[in-house]
Chains A and B, each alone.
Chain A
Amino acid sequence: MIQALLSGILLGGIYGLFAVGFSLVFGVMRIVNFAHGELVMLAMYSGLTVYDLTGIDPLLSLPLTCLLIAGLGVLLYLGAFRHFVGRASMQQLLVAIAIAMILQVGAQIVFGPDTHGMAQSWGSQYLLFGTNFFSYAQVAAFFIALLCVTAVELILRKTRWGQDIRAVADDAEAAELVGLDTHRINTGAFALSCAIAAVAGSVLITYYPVNPGTGFALMPITLIATVVGGLGSVAGAFLGGIACGVISQVAGALAGPALQEVPLYVLLLLFLAFRPQGLFGRRVAF
């Protein structure tokens, strides 16, 4: 049980990282990016490909992956999501789903449908705590996730750019009135969200194999972590991710692996019904 609890926290750190990237885009421009998981999946492939070709560890090729995924994100934003800023409409959701389908099949055509992982990794060694054990990669992933979320929170709080992003998130019209270029700020925030996805993917590939469906399969948990933590709240989304990790691992240990996510689905419905703003979010209308 303690094993399940601790590995839930470690896994939850990664879920939290997904949710933070996803929540940022939602909070700033009210866009539900259903293709966020695909960005993580592509980052995993990016790290793996560099490793296979040159032997460079995915964590060292992280800057390259960030650049690639953020670039892709800017293209997606300018090509599609730009039209839907400010209203999470049915069409917006459908466009995101279409993009997810295209990226997923694109990955399948380029990399093949099979699951690939890193053949040999420093992360596959185990760390023992009494009777509990964790791989180095899991522990490292958690702390990198924590570091990344802290960095994002600092960027949003302390830098000029971050303050601009928060201003747009608060009230896009008012931000525009005081002379902020919301279009440029949105593009930047979207790229930041993609970079966070790239960090998540690069960390995950060190211990978790990837196939074209990996990202899509992670979307439900990302959505739930975001709603539970509070739409648009960075720290909330991270804590929501940890909560989801713990709940799913404990449920998996108690009721079997197929059911590990079911309590999360129930949790989402309860939150939607009774506390749609989540634990730490503000009430948002859309």
Chain B
Amino acid sequence: MSSGNDEAVPAPHATRPSRPQTVDLTRLIVGGVLVAATASLPFWPGVNSYFVALAVRALIFIALGQAWNVIAGIGGQLSLGNGVFFGIGAYGTAMLFTRVGITPWIGALLSVGLAGLAAIVMGAATLRFRGVYFALATVVISLGFERLTRHFVDFTGGDAGFSEPFLGTSPWAMQSRGPTPFLILSLGVVVGFYLLTRVLLVSSFGLQLQPVRDEEAAAASGVNVFHIKIMGLLLSAVMTALVGAIYVQFYLVIDPTAAFGLMQEIQIQLPALIGGLGTAGGPVIGGAFMVLVSEATNWLASGMSVHGLDVLAFGVLLLVVVLRAPHGVLGAFMRPPGAGSRR
């Protein structure tokens, strides 16, 4: 690829190394209260399992956004192929359990490993492409997976998707009649991913990944750009596949559109973009906000008998955020222009 300056994510602090952060008491308290409130959700008065299931959906959505945020927000590479890893995690776990009888706990690990392998191969093939070319390459790989899963019906279940038999509440099968265990599990994943992102933002790997957005600068400062990018994609892939495994255990079905479809690829990006790209808190706020919006618009739409209002709302949100608030909701409110440390 010829050289050129590819305008990546706007990152006013990209080249400024973040200072190691002292323990921020406010953040600790807010975070603790949020986690406690979410974990105790099933015991609140008036909360039924619909709300708990909704919270699980939100957490899964947030976690996917957190994973995408690693390669796109911190690394500045617009991946439209994270669905590949999500699909490998979900299909892999479900197939290993249904076909081979491997418990999903182990199956998830194997699938995550497979997704990591896929990320290395995919990254080696595509991460040399710059900017939009990388986005195009990843999107066709994802679409290729979609077509292949549709074609090999005997292996993957084809259009209808692959479903797991429901065995009732069973820790071995990683299945549950009520949504509460999945609430705790996915909450744990979101908290883990949040802490990981925070560490990443100040770790030496994270500091190398950040200037990769500005390739020449990174190369000049001695960073092996290609290598770092592959590691970034690998981490993002492993995180995404883990969420895929939880997704399939919760919903017990995965289909080609939900795994590799173009709309899915786009929705994975929205939490981070709307909340604040490249920040630890962004995907959490953005994802929660989006599930609220989606519920509100569905409630509105059911009165007017129209469909797709949530997608319309996401489209408008995305447009407004990119044009008017490139640092997301979090950035718009919490990072006054010219202020110091990265949130």
Contact = CB atoms under 8 A, between A and B. Distances in A.
Contacts of B133: 272, 276
Interface stretch (B29-37, B184-192, B307-315): B307-315
Given A88-B132, A216-B262, A269-B140, A94 B322 contact: yes
A99 B78 contact: no
Given A95-B323, A216-B262, A259-B147, A265 B140 contact: yes
Nearest to B7: A89
Contacts of B136: 223, 227, 268, 272
Nearest to A90: B78
Contacts of B125: 269, 273
A218 to B, nearest CB: 12
Contacts, number: 134
Interface of A, secondary structure class, is: helix
Contacts of B137: 268-269, 272
Interface in A74-113: 80, 83, 87-91, 93-95, 97-102, 104-106, 108-109, 113
A259 B6 CA distance: 34
B100 interface: no
Nearest to B304: A109
Interface in B310-330: 311-312, 314-316, 318-319, 322-323, 326
Interface in B11-33: none
13 contacts: A87-B5, A90-B135, A91-B7, A95-B322, A98-B315, A98-B318, A98-B322, A105-B308, A109-B312, A113-B308, A265-B144, A268-B136, A283-B2
Interface of B: 1-10, 72, 76, 78, 125-126, 128-133, 135-137, 139-141, 143-144, 147-148, 150-151, 262, 266, 269, 273, 306-309, 311-312, 314-316, 318-319, 322-323, 326
Given A90-B132, A99-B319, A105-B311, 14 more contacts: A95-B319, A98-B315, A98-B319, A100-B315, A101-B266, A101-B311, A101-B318, A104-B311, A108-B307, A258-B150, A258-B151, A262-B144, A272-B126, A276-B129
